[in-house]
Amino acid sequence: MLFDTFKLGALELQNRIVMAPMTRVRATACGVPSASGALYYAQRATAGLIISEGIAPSLQGQSEPNVPGLYNDEQQAAWTKITDAVHGAGGRIYAQIMHGGRIGHPEIHGLQPVGASAVAAQGTVYTSGGRLPFVTPVEMTVDQIEDQIAVFVSAAERAMAAGFDGIELHGANGYLIQQFLSDNSNMRTDRYGGSHENRARFAVEVATAVSDAIGADRVGVRLSPGGKFGDMNESDTEGLYRTLIGMLDPIGLSYLHVLETASDVVNDAIRDKWNGTLMVNPSFVDLKQMGTVGARFADKPNAARWLARGADLISFGRYFISNPDLVRRLREDLELADPDLSTYYSGGDEGYIDYPEWSPVNAES
């Protein structure tokens, strides 16, 4: 079933294997994706769908140095080369729009980050001046919230103009959208805070506005229910996500992409509430330990488990870094190469475009 075709809105996917979004910090200081990005993504084009690394929709929304953006013509032109390369290789690609909100730093972009409330995340962020503690973001007024929704829309429009097949809203891992969902980052007393419905409102308004602009069947949403990454703390995960998914469902989105951050009870509630396409990243997700020994990678047995539990599409992250031909290796049960953690964020081509396809010679070495 993993290797069956799948109809995703107007798109025919060649299989149900999705490359999960992965930040690789290879863009220029101005957020222009590197030329090697075209080869990196084209090498992985046998995936049914590729979701790009997180892309900043504005300078202020940039979470780390060397993360690419989609807010000016130069960035858009560079992305066009990447989508052309993927399409030329027979693949499909969505752009992940990642607004950092409070996950960012003036040292990165010269601007004060915005957030749901004026609460700094615990921890540090990587900047060109080394690791620095997170700063307290500006609590947005309702007008400023509207401005940020417009920022998402503008990036989505640029993504479509750059040839992406659709976009994914990053509502997971502690970035701006989840900052509205989580109890400890949203202290608001207006219609964006307090009740589950109010906390969900920002996510729903962004999804609606972007859908109005580019078509709901081109818009996916990624969520990490109960996930702690980015200093998140959602006290009633099941209630919150039942409400959120109940509000997202009628929009008719392309898909819902869920990380395996919650219990099966919550996951069942999600499946129950969601009538559209469900994509699951079947990884053991303690993202604080991302990449460390012992943390489980999304793999074939867990993909099968999730397909049996009602998922339609399965995303794989780290194995796609080190196995450009992951689809073939999974299909033929060939050995999988392990990724080199030290080159995830190192910049340059090493550990980026030099992982070989499977061959009997590599398998023996």
Q: Which residues are catalytic?
A: 175
Tokens 């460390």 belong to which residue? 292
d(CA 72, CA 27): 14
Nearer to ligand FMN, 188 or 316 (CB): 316
Q: Is 102 in the site for ligand FMN (CB under 6 A)?
A: no
Cα 135 to Cα 152: distance, rounded to the nearest angstrom: 23
Per-residue interface string for the shown chain with ligand FMN, residues 220-249, x marking contact by CB under 6 A: --x---------------------------
- In the complex, least distance from residue 318 CB atom to ligand FMN, rounded to whole angstroms: 3
Please name which of 217, 251, 70, 74 lies closest in space to residue 153, comparing C-alpha atoms. Answer: 70
CB atoms within 10 A of CB 362: 13
Q: Does 267 contact ligand FMN by CB under 6 A?
A: no
* Residue 99 vs residues 55, 103, 166, 229, 327: alpha-carbon distances, Å: 8, 9, 17, 15, 30
Q: Are 79 and 154 a contacting pair, CB within 8 Å? A: no
The answer to the question of residue 99 lying near ligand FMN (CB under 6 A) is: no
* Nearest approach, Cβ of residue 53 and ligand FMN (Å): 5
User: According to the binding rule CB under 6 A, does residue 171 interact with ligand FMN?
Assistant: no
CA distance 20 to 53: 8
Asked if residue 344 binds ligand FMN (CB under 6 A), the reply is: yes
- Residue number with CB closer to ligand FMN (188 or 317): 317
Minimal CB distance residue for ligand FMN: 317
Among 184, 228, 297, 322, the residue binding ligand FMN under the rule CB under 6 A is 297
Give the whole-angstrom CA distance, residue 94 versus residue 113: 26
Q: Does 329 bind ligand FMN (CB under 6 A)?
A: no
Identity of the residue, 306 or 358, whose beta carbon is nearer to ligand FMN in the bound complex:
306
> How many chain residues touch ligand FMN (CB under 6 A)?
24
Q: Quote the least distance from Cβ 13 to ligand FMN, whole Å.
A: 18
Q: Which residue shows structure tokens 């400890």?
A: 184
Query: Applying CB under 6 A, does 298 fall inside the site for ligand FMN?
Result: yes
Rule CB under 6 A: say whether 21 interacts with ligand FMN: yes
**Stretch in the footprint of ligand FMN (CB under 6 A) among 18-26, 113-121, 304-312, 326-334:** 18-26
Q: Pick the binder of ligand FMN from 78, 108, 259, 270 (CB under 6 A).
A: 259
Neighbours of 227 (CB within 10 A): 24
Closer to ligand FMN by CB, 23 or 237: give it: 23
Chain residues 30-69 in contact with ligand FMN, contact rule CB under 6 A: 53-54
- Binding window for ligand FMN (CB under 6 A); candidates: 31-39, 108-116, 131-139, 289-297: 289-297
- How far is 42 from 40, CA to CA, in rounded Å? 6
Q: Does 290 bind ligand FMN (CB under 6 A)?
A: yes
Q: Are 252 and 196 in contact (CB under 8 A)?
A: no
Least CB distance from residue 355 to ligand FMN, whole Å? 14
Out of 20, 85, 119, 177, point to the residue binding ligand FMN (CB under 6 A).
20
Q: Choose the binding region for ligand FMN from 31-39, 124-132, 202-210, 282-290 (rule: CB under 6 A).
A: 282-290
Residues that bind ligand FMN (CB under 6 A): 20-23, 53-54, 96, 98, 170, 172-173, 222, 259, 281, 283, 285, 290-291, 297-298, 316-318, 344
